[in-house]
Chain A
Amino acid sequence: MHFEVRIEVSPRDGIANPEGSTIERALPALGFEMTGNVRVGKVIRLQVEADSVDAAQSLVEDMCNRFLTNPVIEDALVEVLET
């Protein structure tokens, strides 16, 4: 089966996020009210073939652990959609 995958990579809690902090400082300076804690990560989209949603999920989690994220500083949220 063919699956569309969306992986949200975000900085782990407790790990500084310079990009987020910079935006956090810039927003109020532009007059936007906000309550803080901006975190910047990235989204990766890809397609996989697998026998089931669970199989696709575990395949992609493996990709994340080994390659797509650095577990020292990043967490991944995997979303699998059947197409």
Chain B
Amino acid sequence: MSHRVGVVRFPGTNCEFDTIDAIRTLGGDAEVLWHADPSLKKVDAVVIPGGFAHGDYLRCGAIARFSPVMESVAAFALNGGPVLGICNGFQVLTEAGLLPGALQKNVGMKFLCSMQQIEFVSTENILGKGSTVGDCINIPINHFEGNFVCPPEALAELETQGQIVFRYTDNPNGSTRDIAGICNKDGNVVGMMPHPERATSALLGSTDGTALIQSFLTA
């Protein structure tokens, strides 16, 4: 795999180096893209990683979407470039309008960090290569605002267009229709609340994220 991945770093991002570690462990190459620099440094794919970009102040992702790098990410995505938003990155992508819907507070009104089982609903996207619809995998979640909401028309469209990528098998946060991850119509932009980079080591408890990152690296 000769893929070079750019991992966006906003002030307050905290999963950027974990994501880079996981990508490198799986044979990819990765580097940081500073939010204030519009250049994507000719990377082949972009990850917007987890964390608390700009402290999650105002709303998760609300300030981050205005960072200079995001215009370039949007253009890259429109050109079919692979873009993966993980957790806070998913929130940023919805705020930026690259994915529909929004993520609000968990129904239990608590932050949740736990291992969660999710099921592949569609594999026609940058994470699905090598997986089959119906595959169940264990990936940790780590969020307060992971409760996906979406206007009914947009939701119907997500369902009919195969844009729901993952559902929780045991909904932890009240997310509409158990949605854990979605993609855009072309499948090149994916947002998911669970953290695949946290499931890439047997020593740490799960390697189920490996297939997703490997798929991403060949997208």
Contact = CB atoms under 8 A, between A and B. Distances in A.
Let me know if chains A and B touch directly in the complex, using CB atoms closer than 8 Å: yes
Interface of A: 15-16, 18-19, 21-22, 67-68, 70, 72-73
Interface residues of B, number: 20
B147 interface: yes
A73 B102 CA distance: 7
Nearest to B94: A72
Contacts of A70: 59, 62, 95, 102
Contact of A18 (B94, B101, B150, B174): B174
A18 B107 contact: yes
B149 interface: yes
9 contacts: A16-B107, A16-B174, A18-B107, A19-B105, A70-B95, A70-B102, A72-B100, A73-B102, A73-B104
A72 B174 CA distance: 17
Q: Is the interface of B mostly helix, strand, loop or mixed?
A: loop
A21 B59 CA distance: 19
B102 A19 contact: no
Instruction: Find the residue from B59, B62, B147 having the highest chain A CB count within 10 A.
Output: B59
B104 A16 contact: yes
Nearest to B61: A70
Given A70-B95, A70-B102, 18 more contacts: A16-B107, A16-B149, A18-B104, A18-B105, A18-B106, A18-B107, A18-B109, A18-B147, A18-B174, A19-B109, A67-B58, A67-B66, A68-B58, A70-B62, A72-B94, A72-B100, A72-B102, A72-B151
